[in-house]
Structure 1
Amino acid sequence: MELTTPQVPHASRARAKAKHLIVISYDAFSEDNWEMARRQPNLAKLIKQGASSNRLKSVYPTLTYVVHTTIATGVYPDKHGIHHNNPLQPFVKEEDQAWFWFQDAIKVPTIYDAVLQQGMTTAGILWPVSGKSSLKYNIPEVRALKGENQALKVLRSGSPLYCIGMELRYGRIRQGISQPHLDDFTTECATDTIKRKKPNLLMMHLIDLDDAKHMYGTDSEEVKQVIRRMDLRLGRIMQAVEDAGISEDTVIMVQGDHGQFNVRYKLHLNNLLQAKGLIYEENGVLNWRAFFQCGGGSAYLHIRPGDEEAEQLALAAVAEYMQGYAPGIESVYTRDKLDRMHASTCTNVMLEARRGYCFDESLKDPLVVDLEAHGIRYATHGYSPEKSGYRCNIVVSGAGIKEGYTFGELEMVDIAPTMGRILGVEFSQGDGRALEEIFTEGVHRVSYAAEGMNTAHQ
């Protein structure tokens, strides 16, 4: 079935709050970072001049590509079709796995499709699941696999002339995907794009904080250093808006996508299945009847189609492990619970890890590994968004936004309709709502005659 972007009357743009919207996804920016982050000068300025909350609830599982697809579509994973960062690839090493890099995996329209349809310009810098998308200026988040060339993959998946231009100007900053260099590169590309292109919608993804939490833990000095670096990057973006002469007509949105928890133990779930013969070797090749696709704090139980016995045996193996008072597995979610959480329909069963534990697919390690005993600091995500201390932060500041306004609970599905409301594009696919409470009274009428109507490639 061919999906089309909802038709939106051009007259709806009269309700726009701003002509330009910059969306900064601050990966892993969660409530435990709020107190420090809000005291940094640039974010503090945005908070004072705008609306903010540290009660943004994510979606299940709290994996980056799952969440970012919800941000871009305004619907839960059971509708948008991205269930994990990666498609299922049993027995493939994590570093060799393909990801959901390309927009054609998304089953519903995106906000950037709707904005483009209204004749406005769009840009994306390392936005997840945006490869080969409609974004006019697009540096997609893709990675070369064995036998592929990174530069060619980026060019084929994004906007070639734009990518080449950014690489020529700022490629010297980047050192592969290492931080802080990658986010510094992204920031320079964003400031250049704001000043040269003045897109109506810019969506960018900054990953430094997420990387630091994974590598050093959530309460590390390295995390504090990232929060300080992030504020400097935010200042660069704010200055670019000033330099472009569009500050009176711009909204900046800074938001997290998930939290992280510190982990001491890794539980290698597929060992349970292998012990029951559900993962086996045949002619020297590993095969499976049941397989756990792990996502840090959660795991999908995948079953070969029609193999009901395998599902029963897998669940029995999990129950046996849990009855032995073995730690690690907090809950077994069946379809009723998953439906209430709007989780992907790709499986009937998911496992939820206890805090302090995470799940891993590898069959080469013992069932339980004590990371602390090996001198490893580690944190991860993927857990249920219903866990305490796991909400995200959001700041929305600029034209048409209330100043110094603190709002409460909101859902990740509310972001896309709110983005549409800011730009005067009615965009709702039923799961989320525009956050009307953050807007000032009255209508901010903007003209698109001079900017945004030219959709020719530059």
Structure 2
Amino acid sequence: MGPKKSNYLVVVSYDAFSKDNWEMASRLPNLSKLIKNGAYSTQLTSVYPTLTYVVHTTMVTGVYPDKHGIYHNNPFQPFEKEAEQRWFWYKKEIKVPAIYDCLKKHHLKSAGILWPVTGRTAINYNLPEIRAIKKESQVLKILRNGSPLYCLSLEKKFGRFRKGFKQPYLDNFTTMCAVETIIKKKPNLLLMHLIDLDDAKHQHGIDSPAVKKAIIRMDKRLGDVIQAVEKAGIKEDTTFLVLGDHGQINVRYKVKLNALLKEKGLIFEENGKMQWRAYIQGAGGAAYLHLRENDSEAEKMAVAILNQAIRKDCYGIQRLYNRKELDRYHADRSVAYMLEAKIGYCFDDDLDGPVVDILKTSKDGQATHGYLPDKPDKSDYRCVFVASGAGIKSNYQLGDIEMVDIAPTMAMILGIDFYNGDGRPLKEIFQDETS
């Protein structure tokens, strides 16, 4: 690794920030300033499935899901209600090193604020994204899995501004925490995750007034972070990365394919408990087909059921991918098949209600993600990327880049050694480098 480009790196993940938001967002005061003084792309390709925890793990590891092991937001938990499912909250579940693991040997400090899959990490100042389920205490869960004194100090100072997970209060709280951390701690790497835009799209659809308001709030928060860097006296030695993890697509129908498997006896009740030989784990616009190990009969039956469903337009299945095809998308190797939904459809695990459910949406609609990162006929589903600040070329437009390129680029900015993953450092964005 060559010499560092700057001493401080601030990474702002705008969840669901995609190409269709670029025209508006790029004209707002703070992001436009970073673009003018930086490099940018509207052709950032995500990973499959395009789920938040899958993508954020790729961002910090530089490898695809088939290597890092976070294949979904949730581990596989058949028949468990969605609200009660645990998520991939803990760093131990990632199979490879993350960028923040490498900072310590270089005597650099890191901070993480609601960054996914960071419970019990090597991050110095860590407020992990983690949620209490069943009868757990939210406060105790954060303290056990984050940096206790750091989390307590933030809660004491800013907790009154948060209203659970409601927006815009949660992202306002995250931004206050980031500002405080930059000024008081000056971490060499700050990772922050903002969710307001993602929530607005899920609840109101991608073209709604709520989305436009969230984009404006995002820019204000970005301005607060930039001002904090200036107040800390590190502006000339700081690089910003601002990026999205996935787009969203408007949906009208939720499809519960497990009901079809149940009809054919692949999901059944035995001794008062639900059992399965084949099971669909929904991932929004995609889904995994899980099969009992060494049950070739169940595999044959399930594939036949799904192929028959594909021939009926009502189920909204665009494609059933086999393992060879999934290798091309670097999807997790624990499953042999995945389903891709047509635009307007999404998949769900639930067994209750009709197989195809018309979603009860707000007046503007509803949206989701999980689909192929290069979804056909949906080019604005791709993500956007901005790098700005110390050592970055001004107003430089990048072409196609990959989510696996983000971690090696972070490493190059901070001048630290990082293992050879699936991506490359974006050398062309730096003033002293050639492509």
**How many Å apart are 1:376 and its aligned residue?**
8.1
**How many Å apart are 1:327 and its aligned residue?**
4.0
**TM-score if structure 2 supplies the norm length?**
0.97
Cα-to-partner distance string for 1:197-235 (whole Å, 9 max, x where unaligned): 000000010000000000000000000000000000000
Report matched runs for 1:377-392 at 5 Å.
Answer: 377-387=365-375, 388-389=378-379, 390-392=381-383
2:179 is paired with a residue of what secondary structure? helix
Does residue 251 of structure 1 match 2:239? yes
Report matched runs for 1:338-353 at 5 Å.
Answer: 338-353=326-341
Bigger Cα displacement from structure 2, 114-123 vs 240-249:
114-123
Q: Where does residue 176 of structure 2 map in the other structure?
A: 188
Q: Where does residue 36 of structure 1 map in the other structure?
A: 24
Q: Where does residue 192 of structure 2 map in the other structure?
A: 204
Does residue 223 of structure 1 match 2:214? no
**How many Å apart are 1:126 and its aligned residue?**
0.3
Amino acid of the residue matched to residue 408 of structure 1?
Answer: G
Say if 2:203 and 2:362, in contact at 8 Å, map to a contact too. no
Report matched runs for 1:24-103 at 5 Å.
Answer: 24-103=12-91
Change (3 A) 1:325 1:29: closer
2:280 is paired with a residue of what secondary structure? strand
Amino acid of the residue matched to residue 231 of structure 2?
Answer: D
The CA distance in 2 between the partners of 1:32 and 1:199, in whole Å, is 32
Q: Where does residue 410 of structure 1 map in the other structure?
A: 401
Percent identity for Structure 1 against Structure 2: 59
The CA distance in 2 between the partners of 1:142 and 1:151, in whole Å, is 10
Q: Where does residue 112 of structure 2 map in the other structure?
A: 124
Amino acid of the residue matched to residue 322 of structure 1?
Answer: I
Report matched runs for 1:51-450 at 5 Å.
Answer: 51-371=39-359, 377-387=365-375, 388-389=378-379, 390-441=381-432
Amino acid of the residue matched to residue 396 of structure 1?
Answer: A
The CA distance in 1 between the partners of 2:141 and 2:91, in whole Å, is 15
The CA distance in 1 between the partners of 2:85 and 2:327, in whole Å, is 28
The CA distance in 2 between the partners of 1:427 and 1:220, in whole Å, is 41
1:23 is paired with a residue of what secondary structure? strand
The CA distance in 2 between the partners of 1:428 and 1:257, in whole Å, is 22
Amino acid of the residue matched to residue 392 of structure 1?
Answer: C
**How many Å apart are 1:287 and its aligned residue?**
1.0
The CA distance in 2 between the partners of 1:271 and 1:288, in whole Å, is 12
The CA distance in 1 between the partners of 2:314 and 2:293, in whole Å, is 30
Say if 1:52 and 1:405, in contact at 8 Å, map to a contact too. yes
The CA distance in 2 between the partners of 1:234 and 1:430, in whole Å, is 30
1:182 is paired with a residue of what secondary structure? helix
Say if 1:75 and 1:429, in contact at 8 Å, map to a contact too. no
Amino acid of the residue matched to residue 415 of structure 2?
Answer: G
**How many Å apart are 1:308 and its aligned residue?**
1.2
Say if 2:208 and 2:364, in contact at 8 Å, map to a contact too. no
The CA distance in 2 between the partners of 1:261 and 1:126, in whole Å, is 24
The CA distance in 2 between the partners of 1:148 and 1:373, in whole Å, is 31
**How many Å apart are 1:374 and its aligned residue?**
9.2
- Give the paired residue count: 431
The CA distance in 2 between the partners of 1:38 and 1:356, in whole Å, is 28
Say if 2:13 and 2:194, in contact at 8 Å, map to a contact too. yes
Cα-to-partner distance string for 1:328-364 (whole Å, 9 max, x where unaligned): 0000100111001100011000000001100011111
1:425 is paired with a residue of what secondary structure? coil
2:103 is paired with a residue of what secondary structure? helix
Say if 1:83 and 1:346, in contact at 8 Å, map to a contact too. no
The CA distance in 2 between the partners of 1:216 and 1:331, in whole Å, is 27
